Structure 1
Amino acid sequence: MQDFKNKVVVITGGATGIGFSFAKQFGADGAKLVIASRRKDRVDEAVSALKELGFEAAGTAGDVSKRADVEALADFAWSTFGKADVLLNNAGVAQGKRGPVMSLDLEEFDTVLGINVYGTLYGIQVFGPRFVEQGTPAAIYNVGSENSFFPAVPGSSAYISSKHSVLAITEQLAEEVPDFIDVSLICPGYVQSEMTAGNPGGMPTDEFTALTLKQLKAGELYVVSHAYNMVHINKRYEALRKAFETYAPRYEGDDEYDVGCMIEKMMAARAAKG
């Protein structure tokens, strides 16, 4: 989507932090804004602030871990502006109780996945079919993390698992949607937000979202920011490369057991049979 002028952009977790910064970026590009968050008072404050900046904005409270609330958000967007064009699945939580995997609090795991993973899925499943039915250019942007690619935060296996899941969901979604729907995975590293409040450093929020918006306009699948991430990513893939070269090196005809190639061959055989 090359620009967002007159597009209706729905942002979950949009009342504070990264979500609110995104709202300002989209608004400055001419978008109409719908923001949602669990706290009605913060939603009202954010909507007022956006209107003071000259943006057309509306908001509603809701919990993305509840499908009914996401359905209500979609209804609110369509009743307010007559449509929606962009969904930014931004709502997320950090892991509160950190610790080793062997002693991980599974209730904590369920809470984190309920918002970070199911909240993303509900957004996709509620807004996606409406976008398809509209048949006009649309976009679904999911906020992952540098933790989608490697463990960045010690003792946070629930959070890391949730962001790995968002990566997988986003890549699969990108293969399934019609061409008129853009899909992107936004991968922030350490960015200043309410989630990181009280901790020093971090990329300034508006700097991060400005960099992100350029990539969304370019239609990038992976939307990136923190350059040093490549050190960790290369470490993972170097270990994988070494393992394959040692124990499963390439050979002529090695697609014989590749599931993707096998599926293609089966589909081609079925098509040939009519």
Structure 2
Amino acid sequence: MQVKDKIVIVTGAGSGIGAATAKHFAKHHATVIVSDIKEEKAKTTVEQIKQEGGKAVVITANVAKYEDVEQLISETVSQFGQLDVIVNNAGIGPRNMSKTAEYTLEDWDSVIAVNQTGVFYCMKLALQQMMKQGSGNIVNIASLAGLKASLNNLSYCASKFAVVGMTKSAALEYATKNIRINAVCPGYTESALLSKLLSVRPDMDDMLKSVIPMKRYGQAEEIAEAVVWLASENTKFITGQTITLDGGTSL
């Protein structure tokens, strides 16, 4: 895929889909800014990339803090002179899976702050830089929960529906500016979020797999391949799209 020498930020790249995406970009000869709220996890991803001969650096950031995102973008441009791609992957789930009437204010506020407002901050500031340089590419990590209802998961579902909407709105706004904006919507994928869910409800493992036609969870690497493809020069006529990777679950 044609991403060689591109300068790429991946948020939430200390684990899961983010780490796999950072590694996949590096494999295809991009320079990757590995960003995560947890510095040690980000450093581990960078070390793994460098062991494979790739180029990567760490810039820590909490995407729910505007000043952190400002620093992330400014440091990237200061070090590398440009920002070609940002992958807005950082995300969290609620502490408690509850029906709407019992949903806690803490779970609502924290999930919306990271998954929705954090994506807005990253898009806003990345777009300012991309407009200056006359090109850019944004890939947002949404979810199957951004396309279909998700029981007892209101804040996560709301935030991911918002990411899909923000992707489409911004793509329309910047389509004539040589800036493409797309989203991927993973279904049930092996990740920290899924592990957390199954640790609380082990009985859900068989239930979840029963609704996936392929009868297995997705792999982080499979999502990463789609992200890098959307960010590459191979997809120059694609913008405002949501690519669903769910093993057929949405069928």
Q: Which TM-score tier does this pair reach, normalised by the shorter chain?
A: 0.7 to 0.9
> Which residue number corresponds to residue 97 of structure 2?
98
Letter in 2 for 1:205: A
How far apart, CA to CA, are the structure 2 residues paired with 1:30 and 1:116?
Answer: 28
Distance 1:44 1:37, change over 3 A: same
How far apart, CA to CA, are the structure 2 residues paired with 1:215 and 1:170?
Answer: 13
Asked whether the 8 Å contact 2:139–2:227 carries over to 1, the reply is no
> Which residue number corresponds to residue 173 of structure 1?
170
> Which residue number corresponds to residue 230 of structure 1?
250
> Which residue number corresponds to residue 211 of structure 2?
none
Q: How far off is 1:204 after superposition?
A: 1.6
Q: How far off is 1:48 after superposition?
A: 1.1
> Which residue number corresponds to residue 152 of structure 2?
155
Q: How far off is 1:147 after superposition?
A: 0.7
User: May I ask how many residue pairs the two structures share in their alignment?
Assistant: 228
State how 1:1-274 maps to structure 2 within 5 Å. 3-136=2-135, 138-152=136-150, 154-177=151-174, 178-197=176-195, 199=198, 202-217=217-232, 218=235, 219=238, 221-231=241-251
Q: How far off is 1:39 after superposition?
A: 0.9
Q: Which has the larger radius of gyration?
A: 1
Question: How much is the aligned-residue C-alpha RMSD, in angstroms?
Answer: 1.6
| Worse-superposed segment, 116-125 or 215-224 | 215-224
How far apart, CA to CA, are the structure 1 residues paired with 2:171 and 2:250?
Answer: 23
How far apart, CA to CA, are the structure 2 residues paired with 1:69 and 1:167?
Answer: 23
Asked whether the 8 Å contact 1:16–1:42 carries over to 2, the reply is yes
Unaligned runs of 5+ in 1: 232-274
| 1:182 match: secondary structure | strand
How far apart, CA to CA, are the structure 1 residues paired with 2:224 and 2:49?
Answer: 16
Q: How far off is 1:197 after superposition?
A: 2.2
> Which residue number corresponds to residue 208 of structure 2?
none
Identity percentage of aligned residues: 25
Scaled by the length of structure 2, what TM-score is found? Answer: 0.86
How far apart, CA to CA, are the structure 2 residues paired with 1:215 and 1:173?
Answer: 16
| 1:117 match: secondary structure | helix
Letter in 1 for 2:183: L
Q: How far off is 1:202 after superposition?
A: 1.8
How far apart, CA to CA, are the structure 1 residues paired with 2:4 and 2:182?
Answer: 19
How far apart, CA to CA, are the structure 2 residues paired with 1:96 and 1:167?
Answer: 23
How far apart, CA to CA, are the structure 1 residues paired with 2:195 and 2:247?
Answer: 22
Q: How far off is 1:213 after superposition?
A: 3.2
Asked whether the 8 Å contact 1:142–1:186 carries over to 2, the reply is yes
Asked whether the 8 Å contact 1:212–1:225 carries over to 2, the reply is no
Asked whether the 8 Å contact 1:212–1:224 carries over to 2, the reply is no
How far apart, CA to CA, are the structure 1 residues paired with 2:121 and 2:106?
Answer: 20
Asked whether the 8 Å contact 2:89–2:141 carries over to 1, the reply is yes
Scaled by the length of structure 1, what TM-score is found? Answer: 0.79
Asked whether the 8 Å contact 2:138–2:182 carries over to 1, the reply is yes
Unaligned runs of 5+ in 2: 199-204, 206-215
